[in-house]
Amino acid sequence: MVPQNDTTRINLSPRRKFRKILGAFFYTIFLLSVCVGIIGLAILLFDVLTKGIPWLSWHFITEYPSRHPEEAGLFSALMGTIWLMVLTAIFTVPVGVGAAIYLEEYAPRNFFTRFIEINVANLAGVPSIVYGLLGLALFVYLMDMGRSILAGSLTLSLLVLPIVILASRESIRAVPNSYRQAAYAMGADQWQVIKGVVLPSAVPGILTGTILAMSRAIGEAAPVIAISALVYLTFIPAHPMERFTVLPIQIFNWVSRPQEEFRGLAAAGIIVLLVILLSMNSIAVFLRNRYQIRSEE
């Protein structure tokens, strides 16, 4: 070490060797924490991929379920999922974005607004089965929609609405106030400011939030089981009032069967679901990156 001549300095004992070891130790612990998650995920994926890939085929995607595993496919569940996602998006986006616009641009800062905000945040944490039961009571029975896609998508909309509202609020809040000031200074009224300046800037963030909300909705089995019940369908829905089934339900259905082959089919179904999910998330990430580049110009 560098020699020190000053003998009057205060007494320090930094124990540098020990601290180096301690540092390395904690680094390892934190690294292992990350690995636990990654290894767990990797094992799951490996299991699903090895069991499922043999069963993946064009036939698998375009055929209906069957008692015979070789002939079974998930066409009805796939179409049901797509129907459900589209309808859910149609209900969720206008209502969610509208609510966010109201809360961010119009609502006065008073108790009532605060009350709404707290409730929206809490609703995001309510277990999805509760939404399922709500949907069952309200849409299926009270409003007499039956166990239809309409009832299912309305229920899922309620489930993911808080996510869309929160994400949209964040995006709207992120629009710099200087843009609003500039717009007002030219004689624009509030709606013109929102429509011409705030929303166009907030759209990428809103879009990202919507896609992430849909990613959550696509995998929700509990509320959809409550609405549609565990059905075995061999047709695809032609209109929103028909009965339906979705990928998570079909997967669950196959997993419950005793025969080994159905396990493989279930794994293949999981792969299809994961592919759809990953694509949606990739689009969300892509959009988010593009948005960040634009706003950092």
Partner 1 sequence: MSTQYVLEVNNLNVSYGDFLAIKDVDMRIREKTVTALIGPSGCGKSTFLRCLNRMNDLILGTSIKGEVLFKNHNIYGSDVDATEIRSRIGMVFQKPNPFPKSIYQNIAFGLKVNGFTGDMDEAVEKSLRNAALWDEVKDRLNDSAFALSGGQQQRLCIARALAIEPEVILMDEPASSLDPIATLAIEQLVRNLRERYTIVIVTHNMQQAARVSDETAFFMVGENRSGYLVEHDGTQKIFTNPDNERTEEYITGRFS
Question: What is the secondary structure of 207-229 as a DSSP string?
Answer: HHHHHHHHHHHHT--HHHHHHH-
Q: Which of 186, 239, 258, 293 binds partner 1 (CB under 8 A)?
A: 186
Task: Please report, as residue ranges, which positions from 1 to 40 form the binding site for partner 1 (by CB under 8 A).
Answer: none
C-alpha distances out from residue 69 to 24, 52, 72, Å: 53, 13, 5
Tell me, by CB under 8 A, how many residues bind partner 1: 21
Q: Which stretch binds partner 1 (CB under 8 A): 22-30, 172-180, 228-236, 259-267?
A: 172-180
Q: How far is CA 9 from the centre of its chain?
A: 60
Task: Please report, as residue ranges, which positions from 98 to 127 form the binding site for partner 1 (by CB under 8 A).
Answer: 109
Q: Which of 187, 238, 239, 258 binds partner 1 (CB under 8 A)?
A: 187
Q: Which of 197, 247, 268, 272 binds partner 1 (CB under 8 A)?
A: 197
Beta strands in 15-122 (DSSP E): none
Hey, what are 29's tokens?
């612990």
Regarding 201 and contact with partner 1 (CB under 8 A), the answer is yes
Q: State the Cα–Cα distance between residues 183 and 171, nearest whole angstrom.
A: 18
Closest approach, Cβ 285 to partner 1, in A, equals 21
Closest approach, Cβ 172 to partner 1, in A, equals 14
Q: Which of 64, 102, 179, 252 binds partner 1 (CB under 8 A)?
A: 179
Closest approach, Cβ 201 to partner 1, in A, equals 6
Q: Which of 166, 183, 227, 265 binds partner 1 (CB under 8 A)?
A: 183
Closest approach, Cβ 288 to partner 1, in A, equals 16
Q: State the Cα–Cα distance between residues 245 and 77, nearest whole angstrom.
A: 5
Question: What is the secondary structure of 129-173 as a DSSP string?
Answer: HHHHHHHIIIIIIIT---S-HHHHHHHHHHHHHHHHHHHHHHHHH
Helix (H, G, I), strand (E, B) or coil at 232: coil
Regarding 50 and contact with partner 1 (CB under 8 A), the answer is no
Residues forming the site for partner 1 (CB under 8 A): 109, 176, 178-179, 181-189, 192, 196-197, 200-201, 294-295, 297
